[in-house]
Structure 1
Amino acid sequence: MVRLSRFHRLALLAASTAVVTGGALSQGSAFAATQWQEITDSPSGISVRLPGKPVMQRYSDHGVNSRDYVVPTRYGALGFSVFDGPAHAQAEPWDLKTGLKAAVDGYNSADIGAGLRGTDVHEGTKDGDRYLEAKLVGVGGRTGHIRFVDHGRQSIVVMTVGHDDQRDAVDRDYRQVLDSVKVPDHGPRQAQGPAVST
């Protein structure tokens, strides 16, 4: 059985992102100067730099444990999740396409009327790890990006949703988070394939 199809907690990252924004994306809220900081997921040792202190939530479902780290931004929210697969399924690949559907469905269930959907979906491999990435578009000028990476024992998800009038900040922050990902035994992660078109 493919691991990601066994759980739907992936949608909680998206739902958390929607809840943090209160279902209404800011179009210029006053935020203090962004303080980027390195956040380390202690169970896995995976770290990223995020633009502020995240709200962290833990979940467990069907032997899969996850930690979601979500930061509100001046344009919406940005989140990072780490999923640990069940020990008996470590050799099985993560179902990244199902992950994308779960994330979009999760966001839309938390923010009724958002109409969020993935576009420009593409897959690739970088440094031996498979990834799937999509642009996100929705009602009312919602825009964003999402990337899933299969690191074997763990899967990583980076997601940002904002408003189209702040697309440059949405794109820049997403790229900055991707470029900051560090995975033990992988060294610093580099951006995997084209993700952001401005």
Structure 2
Amino acid sequence: MTSLSKIQRVALLAASTTVITAGVLVPTSAFAAAAPVGVVTTTVAGSAGSADAAAQWTQTTDAPSGVTVQLPGQAHTETIDEDGIEARVHDVTTDYGFIRFTVFEGPDDGQGWDLTGSLQKQLDMHNKDAAQSSGATLTGEDVQEGTTAEGLPALDAALTATDGTAGDTRLIDLGPYMVQVVVLGTTDDQQAMEADYLRVLNGLELSGGDAATRSL
């Protein structure tokens, strides 16, 4: 299976990539998002049920993979290439924290991506950093492996920490690509986070090798 090493820090799901200020999670300077690069966007109506009701939901396309997603605002995009794996990270800051859409690209060895192992390595990396900074340990709860409606391997998990950090993530194996969606904030905004998370997943479109569009 395709494995990830240091590049997993790019898709890290927790406070090692954020700081909590007055209950709001924002990216730290070390992981500050770059200006949008190669992102195709169109503006659509905002979501009254989201934490940031004024946000304009915007279509973001990861050009190399053709994967398209709806995000509450224009994404800041950063590309990292390390150990033969490229990660294109699309971040949007919200009132409660952030939403992250990442596309990993690596050699297609025919074995697929190790979704469970990828999530666990991300958590291990975060918790190692959190221990050094006295941060709370992040855990993956209710981890479920299965498939999408189209039969693509997928993993879903809830993210929790004792300091009130909470969120959800989904990883999807597309062969040469692995797609990850993360919504992270605090338990105080659980309802808004879950509403946004479902909207992101419902707006996620995956482009197959035959250029046909597949929607989750």
Partner letter of residue 215 of structure 2? R
* Gaps in structure 2 of 5+ consecutive residues: 26-50
Identify the match of residue 155 of structure 1 among 178, 195, 202.
178
| SS of 1:10 mapped into structure 2 | helix
> Considering only CA atoms, is the larger Rg found in Structure 1 or Structure 2?
2
Moved over 6 A (4+): none
TM-score of the superposition, structure 2-length normalised?
A: 0.76
| SS of 2:201 mapped into structure 1 | helix
Q: 1:188 to 1:118 in 2, by over 3 A?
A: same
Quote how far apart the aligned CAs of 1:11 are. 2.8
Q: 1:107 to 1:176 in 2, by over 3 A?
A: farther
Matched, 1:137 2:179: no
Alignment check: 8 A CA contact 1:11 1:105 kept: no
- CA distance in 2 between counterparts of 1:82 and 1:13 reads 9
Identify the match of residue 8 of structure 2 among 2, 10, 27.
10
Matched, 1:43 2:64: yes
Matched, 1:174 2:171: no
* Gaps in structure 1 of 5+ consecutive residues: 191-198
Alignment check: 8 A CA contact 1:14 1:159 kept: no
Q: 1:166 to 1:20 in 2, by over 3 A?
A: same
Partner letter of residue 120 of structure 1? D
- CA distance in 2 between counterparts of 1:31 and 1:74 reads 6
In the other structure, the counterpart of 1:79 is 100
- CA distance in 1 between counterparts of 2:16 and 2:161 reads 16
Aligned-pair identity in percent equals 33
Quote how far apart the aligned CAs of 1:53 are. 1.7
Q: 1:116 to 1:122 in 2, by over 3 A?
A: same
Identify the match of residue 116 of structure 2 among 84, 89, 97.
97
* Number of aligned positions between the proteins: 183
- CA distance in 2 between counterparts of 1:118 and 1:73 reads 22
CA RMSD in angstroms comes to: 2.3
- CA distance in 2 between counterparts of 1:21 and 1:131 reads 26
Quote how far apart the aligned CAs of 1:19 are. 6.4
Identify the match of residue 22 of structure 1 among 6, 11, 19.
19
| SS of 1:43 mapped into structure 2 | coil
Quote how far apart the aligned CAs of 1:155 are. 0.5
| SS of 1:105 mapped into structure 2 | helix
